[in-house]
Amino acid sequence: MTTNSLVEDYHPRRVLRRVASPLFKLFCLLATFSGVVALAVLLGALISQALGKKPGRPWYAIGQNAVDLARFLWALTGRSQDIDAATAGFKAGVVSSLWLLVLVALFAIPIGVGAAVFLEEFAPPGRWRKIVQTNIANLAGVPSIVYGILGLSLFVRAFGVPNLAMGYTLWAGALTLSLLVLPVIVIAAQEALRTVPKPLRQAALGLGATRWQVVRDHVLPAALPGIMTGVILALSRAIGETAPVLMVSQADSILTPPRGPWDDYAALPVEIYNYAKEPAVAFQTVAAGGILILLVMLLSMNAVAIVIRHRYGRHSRG
Amino acid sequence: MNAMPRDTVATTGPLWAKRSGLQRLEGRAVSIFLVICTLVTALTTLGIVIVLGTETVRFFQVSHVGIGEFLVGHEIEFPNRAGGGPIHFGILALVWGTFVIAAGACVIALPIGLLSAIYLSEYAPRRLRAVLKPALELLAGVPTIVYGYLALMMVTPALRALLTPLGVHVDTFNALSACIVVGVMIIPMVSSLSEDVLSAVPRGLREAAYGLGATKFEVSTKIVLPAGLSGVVASFILAISRAVGETMAVVLAAGRQPNLSLNPLKSVETMTAYIVAVIGGEAAPESPEALSLFAVGMVLFGFTLMLNIVSGLVLKRYREVY
């Protein structure tokens, strides 16, 4: 073997290797930012759509534009559905979605956290627990529209039993959405419970606490920030869902916001969908405004989740 | 027990107080409540299967459509009156539409998601990562109706502006803009799941490769990626499943033209879009057309369930154990 071939062996494709590495890094960087940038661009376009053309004012007059936008969104929350875009708004949608938020929280939080506590703290490990766990993971992957079908048959029509059928009421919508987000809450709560250190439980048990006392007084408080974060994210998913709510509501004819859980309703995303379907340009502006209202609601929920994670996150790690 | 002198307790029973009746009652009640909570999840699955199953059977009974025609046919025809000729219903065009959307979305999302996962786990400085990860998760939290609106109002006009000068006709409702937004929608799913697996690859493997003179590119693609391959593949399959089940973006952007063509600039109808169309239509609750949505839902549920199970198996079976 000559010296030359030895060098070849130790430096195969030297130039290529030197170029490939930074090039690859650049590609990865571009890929990472592409999604975020695409969304930012589209949101910018959305805002300008909602704002409409203001003659003589450039886009960078941010203060004035922000005031205008806020006024527009506020006006939209005060108007009902209309076939005239100039007076159309999302009054019923905003109120309905807030109702849904409360009702879903009422159902999904206790049941979801309860199931998580059972699986993590009480259930004996074994075949049954594994089956339930797999089932929950699969439920989380079921398309949301399938939950809509389930809600339509089970809650709205109750298989045709007239006394049990709820019709297209808030209850039916809330129960459907609760089933939809239940697996999400269970999985998030389980993860939060798993971060609570074992010695905490052992110490409490060693002092004579019952299993339930250990969970109630020690494990749940320690896991609470994590559970809250998961719950808020799940609820914001429920508020943003369109397809299942479309199936368990008759939103077209809802002009007044619901007053109680037995009233008919029109969730905000469904109203947005109904406006977005309209070909007239004026309705696109209304739909864009509705989307911004929805995003403001979701972002404020997300912000609460982030604050909770930051403020309490460190203590729970024990 | 109560009458015994204090010092004999140690020899006859435990030193500590027995659980009071109230405590035992509480424990029992709590256990029952928790079991019921857990049963709700099992009953949900049961409910889905029962609802889809019974209504699908009724669809076949009422419509007189054979299972063979349902699976391989592509015509969808519901005569308005009872005497208006036989009902034709084949799901093939809907499955094809779903496949076109999912495949197009994957072409966009899988490479971008994987590259960003590699960037986040191998290249990104710690601080940038702390910003980028939540940003990507925020992307996943945007409601699908928003993506649908953006596809219809912004992506399609952009495509038109781009392609019309080249002499290509773009339909108002087309598969391509739906593919693009569904792709963007599932990027975070691929990247965050893959990133979890890639970061879990032990440092020793990387350091050994660096010690042998490998570049960062070689470590990423030849060491880390193969080691985390099972998680990456599992995340791909989950993303496909999500694209298959995606509804609102497809309803708004891709329209409802059952179509067997490969042209992405034409309108297609997916299974999910068909379900929404039937719900929004005039069909009476017990008519064959209304029942057909359950049959389509059954197929959709079957598809996604299969993908989710396969994804779980891949993750479990081919996981590298360090």
Q: Which residues of B touch A309 (CB under 8 A)?
A: none
- The domain segmentation of chain B, as residue ranges, is 22-88, 92-317
Q: Which residues of B touch A291 (CB under 8 A)?
A: 145-146, 149
User: Among B123, B154, B309, whose Cβ lies nearest the Cβ of A28?
Assistant: B123
**Cα–Cα–Cα angle for A96, B289, B285, nearest 5°?**
50
Res A56: pLDDT = 66
How far is it, in rounded angstroms, from Cα B219 to Cα A66?
48
Enter the DSSP assignment of A124: P
Q: Evaluate if residue B96 carries a pLDDT over 80.
A: yes
> Which of the four pLDDT bands, split at 50, 70 and 90, describes residue A317?
very low
Asked if A212 lies within 8 A of B27 by C-beta distance, the reply is yes
B203-239 per-position pLDDT tens digit: 999 999 999 988 889 999 999 999 999 889 999 999 9
Q: Which residue has the tokens 């914001």?
A: A236
CATH superfamily membership of B92-317: MetI-like (1.10.3720.10)
Q: Which residues of B touch A122 (CB under 8 A)?
A: 31, 34
How far is it, in rounded angstroms, from Cα B82 to Cα B80?
7
Asked if A141 lies within 8 A of B16 by C-beta distance, the reply is no
Asked if B123 lies within 8 A of A25 by C-beta distance, the reply is yes
How far is it, in rounded angstroms, from Cα B12 to Cα B6?
11
> Quick one: B83 exposed, middle or buried, by C-beta within 10 A (0-12, 13-18, 19+)?
exposed
A212-230 per-position pLDDT tens digit: 999 999 999 999 988 998 9
Q: Which residues of A touch B40 (CB under 8 A)?
A: 111, 115, 179, 182
Q: Which residue has the tokens 């006859």?
A: B12
CB pairs under 8 A between A and B: 245
User: Among B41, B144, B245, whose Cβ lies nearest the Cβ of A132?
Assistant: B41
Which pTM was predicted? 0.88
Asked if B52 lies within 8 A of A146 by C-beta distance, the reply is yes
Closest CA in chain B for residue A240: B143
A113–chain B nearest CA distance, Å: 8
A86-110 per-position pLDDT tens digit: 788 888 889 999 999 999 999 999 9
A146–chain B nearest CA distance, Å: 6
Residue B200 identity (one-letter amino acid) = A
Residue A111: in which H helix or E strand, if any? helix A91-117
Q: Evaluate if residue A74 carries a pLDDT over 70.
A: yes
Q: Which residues of B touch A157 (CB under 8 A)?
A: 285
User: Among A28, A119, A208, whose Cβ lies nearest the Cβ of B118?
Assistant: A28
B249-266: average pLDDT = 81
A264-315 per-position pLDDT tens digit: 888 999 999 999 888 888 888 899 999 999 999 998 998 888 888 777 755 4
In angstroms, what is the C-alpha Rg of chain A?
Answer: 26
Q: Two tokens at B34?
A: 């928790």
State ipTM. Answer: 0.88
Q: Evaluate if residue B322 carries a pLDDT over 80.
A: no
Q: Which residues of B touch A149 (CB under 8 A)?
A: 48, 51-52, 275, 293-294, 297
A15-42 per-position pLDDT tens digit: 788 888 888 999 999 988 887 888 788 7
> Quick one: A108 exposed, middle or buried, by C-beta within 10 A (0-12, 13-18, 19+)?
buried
Q: Evaluate if residue A116 carries a pLDDT over 90.
A: yes
Q: Two tokens at A308?
A: 């909770």
How far is it, in rounded angstroms, from Cα A205 to Cα B50?
43
How far is it, in rounded angstroms, from Cα A89 to Cα A82?
7
Asked if A240 lies within 8 A of B143 by C-beta distance, the reply is yes
